[in-house]
Structure 1
Amino acid sequence: MEAKEFEVIIIGGSYAGLSTAMTLGRSLRKTLIIDAGKPCNRQSPHSHNFLTQDGSTPKEIAQIAKKQVAQYESISFYDGLATSGKKSDKGFEITTSKGAIFTAKKLVFAAGVKDLMPDIKGFSECWGISVVHCPYCHGYEIRNQKTAIIANGERAIHLATLVHNLTKEITIITLGKKNFEEKELQKLKEHRIQIIEKEVSAIEHQNGQLEKIVFKDGSSENFDCAYAAIPFEQNSKIPQELGCKITENGHIEVNFMQKTTEEGIFACGDNSTMMRSVSMAVSGGTITGAMINHELSQENF
């Protein structure tokens, strides 16, 4: 690439980043998208709950989006990993793993998060296929099946209330001693939701389709699917390097305009909200692009 200076740099070129770029491209803003090409949902067979694209693969949606964004001449793409960033007299300076350096007045983080897989054999192979995180994204497809909820405490109860509308065969696997209040235990009993207080050693599956959950005591039980609450970390460490505040849940803190706690820096997509879905990422990206264009317009007028 010849150009090194931009009005906006977007780190992350999936749904949130591309949505931001489309809004900026339509406003003729000179914008660079830096993307490493590893979206967190790349293993999911289909994407749902997104109008006009319900049932498409994540890859198909991203390919269409990138093709449409690329039509705007002020948008540039860089295939690579952004590894460091710093503030400069021009705004921000971003360095990639290949040593390329780019500058911009505004910075957008849309690199998403990295799910941290538990030490359970077969779990990662099933993740996004038959072991899922979201009833809205996947629940309809696995409705009326024998379902495990691999979680404990408040998170398990939250999932149970949502999943109960989709199937009546639910078992909560707490991975150890259960952590529920008495009134919660009563509710679970009323809805015939079983609790297994055992740690899991493996998930037996066929090409990512769960068949059996094996416990550390040697016992096992057949299931068709499972929901799981697992930890995550930010895909990019640069926001923290630049002083952006991280919430107690691990997200980049943003306001309703997608602005972080650092002036000139925005964030959108999975890295800044617990509502992880394609539609929410696109919405956040559109807001981000509009707010950045508004700021640049005010500064340049």
Structure 2
Amino acid sequence: MIYDCAIIGGGPAGLNAALVLGMARRNVALIDDNRPRNAVTHASHGFITRDGVSPSEFRRIAHEEIRRYLSVEHVPAEIVTARRLDSGFEVLDSSGGRILARKLLIATGVKEIFPEIEGFYPLYGKSLFNCPYCDGWELRDQPLVVVSEQPSLFHTAKLLLNWSKNLVVCTNGVSSLTSEQIIRLQSKGIVVMEKPIASFAGNNGRLEEVRFTDGTAVPRVGGFVTPKLVQSAPFLDQLGCEMTKAGGVSIDESGRTSIPGLYAAGDAAQFMPSQLVYAAAAGSRTAAGVNMELTEEDFE
């Protein structure tokens, strides 16, 4: 069987794309390895009618709705190889399974590379997070820390003032802030600490203090650590599509990549902001683009 479209990735972008294409009566393979990036998050915010929903519940509802459209097939698999053929695309999964499709939609998202700091992972998803829009509400008005080695630190620190005025900013020994930015942050009562971090200390998932390599420590109850984002799909290089300077897949307004018939949506194309509503909207828009291209080909 040759599907009209194969969607790789079962996050909000891929799920919404499958929904729209199913409604358009397209034969779709929704390929998902069930390893969502937001699995550690207790509640997702900013999606009207679903504010505060857990990622697992969001996926359950999405799959329940998609199952109404019988032309969409859920394929639980991890794709390791993808290539373009004269007639479309071929993808191979880790067990040797093969799927052919006229169009291919990449919705694999990104993976996070966090600074190597002892004690981080036992606290991640419980008191340390990476997205203020996703988890800032639950940490509002508490003593927080933001740790980042990225140039976006100044922006992140300003943003977090909306949730807490008791804020410590840590660069972990990396010069990610200019002197002017440090002065501006300090003028708002933000403590800036540029020395390397030795560890996060806490108990039962709750952060208690941030410890530095010089032996000092600062008490905190929660905070945010900014990761570096990289593509999670191992096969993008095989397809050879153009990428943006930030590392996302370069697309036009309909989600088309530089490769004919290849589309991308969600975090794979737009790294930030990583929110359900953004990704789902991108999936819907891109699915409409896929369907229109298929319609034009079939009509001709």
TM-score higher than 0.5 = yes
Task: Return the TM-score normalized by structure 2.
Answer: 0.94
Identify unmatched segments of 5+ residues in structure 2: none
Q: How does 1:248-263 map to 2 (within 5 A)?
A: 248-263=245-260
1:90 to 2:125 alignment:
no
Identify unmatched segments of 5+ residues in structure 1: none
Equivalent residue, structure 2, for 1:8: 5
Equivalent residue, structure 2, for 1:135: 132
* Count, aligned residues: 298
Could you give the per-residue CA deviations for residues 28-53 of structure 1, whole angstroms, max 9, x where no partner exists? Answer: 00000111000001111111111111
Distance apart, 1:250 and its partner CA: 1.9
| Aligned-residue CA RMSD (Å) | 1.5
Match of 1:271 among 268, 273, 276: 268
1:106 to 2:103 alignment:
yes
Q: How does 1:1-301 map to 2 (within 5 A)?
A: 4-152=1-149, 154-176=151-173, 178-273=175-270, 274-301=272-299
Q: Measured at CA, do residues 227 and 286 of structure 1 come closer, stay the same or move farther in structure 2, by a change above 3 Å?
A: same
Whole-Å separation in 2 of the counterparts to 1:179 and 1:86: 39
Distance apart, 1:289 and its partner CA: 0.8
Distance apart, 1:125 and its partner CA: 2.8
Distance apart, 1:124 and its partner CA: 2.2
Whole-Å separation in 2 of the counterparts to 1:237 and 1:247: 17
Q: For residue 238 of structure 1, what is the amino acid of its counterpart? A: F
Whole-Å separation in 2 of the counterparts to 1:45 and 1:205: 19
Whole-Å separation in 2 of the counterparts to 1:264 and 1:237: 19
Contact 1:240/1:246, CA 8 A, preserved across alignment: no
Contact 1:254/1:267, CA 8 A, preserved across alignment: yes
Contact 2:173/2:197, CA 8 A, preserved across alignment: no
Task: Return the TM-score normalized by structure 1.
Answer: 0.94
Distance apart, 1:76 and its partner CA: 0.5
Whole-Å separation in 2 of the counterparts to 1:153 and 1:21: 34
Whole-Å separation in 1 of the counterparts to 2:149 and 2:231: 23
Q: Measured at CA, do residues 227 and 259 of structure 1 come closer, stay the same or move farther in structure 2, by a change above 3 Å?
A: same
Distance apart, 1:185 and its partner CA: 2.5
Whole-Å separation in 1 of the counterparts to 2:112 and 2:150: 20
